[in-house]
Structure 1
Amino acid sequence: MALGLYLVVVLICLLVVGGTVGLLMMVRTPRYRTEPDHLLKLFDRVLAGQSTESEWHAIVGYPIRHDAFLEGVRRKAQQIMDEHGRPWQVAQGGSLLSRSGREELQTIRNQLASRIIDQEGKREF
């Protein structure tokens, strides 16, 4: 009787451990992929004075490897933050960027928006 109970417990443990290992081997690592819409929404929020520094860094601080144009936009945005960033004023209701930084970001935002429109136009044909 004790041997039978021992075998049942061992088999159940092997089944649980084996199932867990099998499940972990089949599940892929989740990946975050920054899309043009993510950057566009962030830029709009920054220009409207509604974004936080952590939101900025969560999107702009993550390299974009699947699209060279988007990576260039991300790098330009990061450079703007480095040169014109004022994160200490967000807590006081101010903007994340200085006036000249917002103007530069608006230019980048418009370029990105026009590229999105061009790509959508090409998909329709």
Structure 2
Amino acid sequence: MTLLVTLLLSFCVFALIIWGLMHMRTPRFRIDRKDFLKGLEDVIAGQADDNEWRVLIGYPMRHDPLLEQLRLECLEIEEGEYTGGSPYLFTDAGLERLRQVRRRLLAAGIDK
């Protein structure tokens, strides 16, 4: 009798765990325009490190076509102008191109 109760309880716990895992949503990281702007400003001001830059440009932004376009442009800037130095991660030309990206974002509006 004890064996049967143990098996039944084990089965229920196992089934509950499987059910929970099946219904659990995967976490989603979503950056909005204000966060993207803040990240760009930190990079331009020399206040961001390499990790912050990677978080800023590392995730596709399918929820906002403009942000995705700007992210891809930032990746292009990174290919030619990234130094990884301290405090500025980019050359002067790269920082100017990032300022242009920032201006385009501000012109498009950050409340969308």
Q: TM-score, normalized by length of structure 2? A: 0.90
CA displacement at 1:53 relative to structure 2: 1.2
**Larger Rg, first or second structure (1 or 2):** 1
Task: Please give the secondary structure, in 2, of the residue aligned with 1:63.
Answer: coil
CA displacement at 1:111 relative to structure 2: 1.3
Q: TM-score, normalized by length of structure 1? A: 0.82
Distance 1:62 1:6 in 2: 51
Residue in 2 aligned with 1:83? 80
Residues 84 and 101, structure 1, Cα contact 8 Å, conserved in 2? yes
Distance 2:25 2:58 in 1: 23
Residue in 2 aligned with 1:116? 109
1:102 lines up with 2:95 in the alignment: yes
Distance 1:116 1:21 in 2: 45
Distance 1:5 1:116 in 2: 67
Q: What's the % identity of the aligned pairs?
A: 32
Task: Please give the secondary structure, in 2, of the residue aligned with 1:9.
Answer: helix
CA displacement at 1:37 relative to structure 2: 1.7
Return the letter of the residue paired with 1:111.
R
Aligned residues: CA RMSD: 1.5
Distance 1:116 1:5 in 2: 67
Q: Hey, which of these two has a bigger chunk of helix by percent? A: 1
Residue in 2 aligned with 1:55? 52
Which of 39, 43, 46 aligns to 1:46? It is 43
CA displacement at 1:33 relative to structure 2: 1.7
Higher relative contact order (CA 8 A, sep 6+): 2
Return the letter of the residue paired with 1:107.
Q
CA displacement at 1:72 relative to structure 2: 0.7
CA displacement at 1:6 relative to structure 2: 0.2
